[in-house]
């Protein structure tokens, strides 16, 4: 890449500060100045364009300490969306051969100690093609860890269809440990997803799918339909029906089956009542017969006594 030379005058006091930093980092003052320019362009300018401000850690800790979970999640999603806009400006996320490693390296650079300083350390490991581990440390609190988990989860889901399943999101007061699986490669985990992430599945059903993905998704819905809340099932099928005729047909089948089930349950509820009435009548008859038998027996006893 072609380069240009710039010269600038600075005060002796500032130069001495640069020298101290250069010695501590074992680099030259020229390298420190170059690094300062790059960081100013990369971090400061972009941060200002994204309406970010510098805030003291202690103050942020206090703000996050007692925040409600719903609001925390809302802030996380909003932050993730803004970071996503920022990423689109820096990376060609839409190109066909864009690799997830490129984004993960970008994430570390921007959120780590050399970037926005959201974390003291951040690293990733690709355990296999569909399984990625992301770990980090910071010096805030538990709610901050939850915030980070939600931000990173949103980005991974939105860009690459990677999701956290089950207890694969571990957070503490100063650490995050996130294990992601690629959604389409791990549909065997579908029942767990239904229980823990109905909203996530709802979002996936609203995304554009190809025919092969749709077939897999619909088959899994059919296999696990008893575990899905009715509202979620109806909404998912309605989302899918906008793109696929067979989803609309299946939605009709589900509703029809549901109506028939309701009718059957009504019949079952009425039947025991009838049986109870019959049993009650039989019981009464038996009691009446018993009374007659007792009466007849008593008469025989009285006759025997009179004879004596």
Residue-wise pLDDT for 118-177, tens only, equals 899 999 999 887 889 999 999 999 999 999 999 998 899 888 888 886 566 788 999 999
Note the pLDDT of residue 121.
Answer: 92
Phi (first) and psi of residue 181, to 5 degrees: -115, 145
> Could you tell me how many residues make up the chain?
308
SS3 135: strand
Q: Where are the domains of the chain?
A: 14-49, 54-182
Note the pLDDT of residue 138.
Answer: 93
* Angstrom distance (rounded) from CA 73 to CA 178: 17
Q: What is the mean pLDDT of each run of 10 residues along the chain (308 residues)?
A: 74 84 84 75 63 75 86 90 82 76 89 83 88 92 92 88 75 91 72 59 62 74 74 74 72 76 71 56 56 58 56
* Angstrom distance (rounded) from CA 37 to CA 21: 15
* Angstrom distance (rounded) from CA 279 to CA 46: 81
* Angstrom distance (rounded) from CA 211 to CA 218: 10
* Angstrom distance (rounded) from CA 111 to CA 86: 12
Note the pLDDT of residue 144.
Answer: 92
Task: Retrieve residue 225's tokens.
Answer: 């339909």
**At what angle are helices 57-65 and 142-160 packed, to 10 degrees?**
90
Note the pLDDT of residue 46.
Answer: 62
Task: Retrieve residue 173's tokens.
Answer: 């007061």
Neighbouring CB atoms inside 10 A of 21's CB total: 14
210 contact partners, CB below 8 Å, separation of at least 6: none
* Angstrom distance (rounded) from CA 151 to CA 277: 62
* Angstrom distance (rounded) from CA 147 to CA 118: 11
Domain formed by 54-182, architecture: 2-Layer Sandwich (3.30)
């Amino acid at each position: 890449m072609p380069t240009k030379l710039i010269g600038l005058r600075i005060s002796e006091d500032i130069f001495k500060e640069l020298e101290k930093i250069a010695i501590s980092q074992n680099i030259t003052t020229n390298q420190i100045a170059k690094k300062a320019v790059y960081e100013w362009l990369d971090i400061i300018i972009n941060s200002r364009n994204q309406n970010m401000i510098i805030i003291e850690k202690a103050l942020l800790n206090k703000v996050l300490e007692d925040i409600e979970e719903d609001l925390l999640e809302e802030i996380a999603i909003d932050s993730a969306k803004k970071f996503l806009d920022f990423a689109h400006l820096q990376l060609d996320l839409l190109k066909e051969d864009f690799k997830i490693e490129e984004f993960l390296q970008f994430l570390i650079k921007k959120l780590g100690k050399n970037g926005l300083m959201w974390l003291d350390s951040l690293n990733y490991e690709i355990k296999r093609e569909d399984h990625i581990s992301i770990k980090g440390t910071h010096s805030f609190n538990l709610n901050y860890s939850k915030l980070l988990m939600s931000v990173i989860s949103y980005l991974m889901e939105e860009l690459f269809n990677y999701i956290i399943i089950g207890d694969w999101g571990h957070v503490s007061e100063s650490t995050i440990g996130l294990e992601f699986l690629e959604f389409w490669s791990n549909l065997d985990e579908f029942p767990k997803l239904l229980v823990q992430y109905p909203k996530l599945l709802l979002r996936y059903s609203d995304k554009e799918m190809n025919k092969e993905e749709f077939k897999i998704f619909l088959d899994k819905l059919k296999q696990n339909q008893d575990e899905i809340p009715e509202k979620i099932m109806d909404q998912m099928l309605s989302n899918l029906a906008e793109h696929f005729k067979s989803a609309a047909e299946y939605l009709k089948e589900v509703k029809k089956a549901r109506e028939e089930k309701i009718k059957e349950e009504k019949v079952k509820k009425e039947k025991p009542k009838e049986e109870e009435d019959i049993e009650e009548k039989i019981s009464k008859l038996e009691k009446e017969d018993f009374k007659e038998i007792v009466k007849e027996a008593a008469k025989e006893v009285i006759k025997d006594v009179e004879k004596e």
